[in-house]
Amino acid sequence: MEVDTLEIRWPSGIVRTMIGVGVDRRLVVVEPTAASVESSSVLPSTLIRVNPNPFNGFTRFDFTLGSRSETSARIYDIQGRLVRTLVGRGLTEGPQSAIWNGRNDVGQFLSSGTYFYEIRLDEKVKNSGRVVLVR
């Protein structure tokens, strides 16, 4: 079981959104400093990291949105079939996280192997790569 979206609004005005958080997970969330968020009107949109990779249990995709964007984060198997959609909606500017627990869209555990992720912002592929699931 997982929480669809966890949104944290800090008193400083910074908003952190985490997606697909397992209800049995303990999270330690630290408020970012104002200096870590640029004040310019447009921040670059980037994938910061996938960690851990390889993983057993769950992995987290951390990325930053430079502006509000229709965002999708999807996982594909080695044959190119979509197995999991982690994000599929508009997200606000700033740091974001999506967590994948190694399950498909209907909740079944996937087998060990290489999977591919794709992050799209406003229908354009912004980042893609591979992630290895080890059971």
Q: What is the pLDDT of residue 124?
A: 83
| Cross-strand partners of 125 | 120
Domain membership of residue 68 (yes or no) is: yes
In this prediction the pTM is 0.70
CATH for 123: 2.60.40.4070
Half-sphere exposure of 33 (CA within 13 A, CB side): 2
Q: What is the pLDDT of residue 64?
A: 84
Q: What is the pLDDT of residue 47?
A: 61
Beta strands (DSSP E) in the chain are 2-9, 15-22, 46-51, 59-65, 69-76, 82-91, 94-100, 113-121, 124-133
Domain membership of residue 30 (yes or no) is: no
Per the structure, how many domains does the chain have?
A: 1
Q: Which residues form the domain of 62?
A: 2-22+42-133
Domain membership of residue 34 (yes or no) is: no
Q: What is the pLDDT along the chain (135 residues), one digit of tens a residue?
A: 667 677 777 666 667 777 667 766 666 666 665 444 443 334 456 666 899 999 999 999 988 888 888 999 999 999 999 999 999 998 888 888 899 999 999 999 999 999 999 988 888 887 888 999 998
Domain membership of residue 52 (yes or no) is: yes
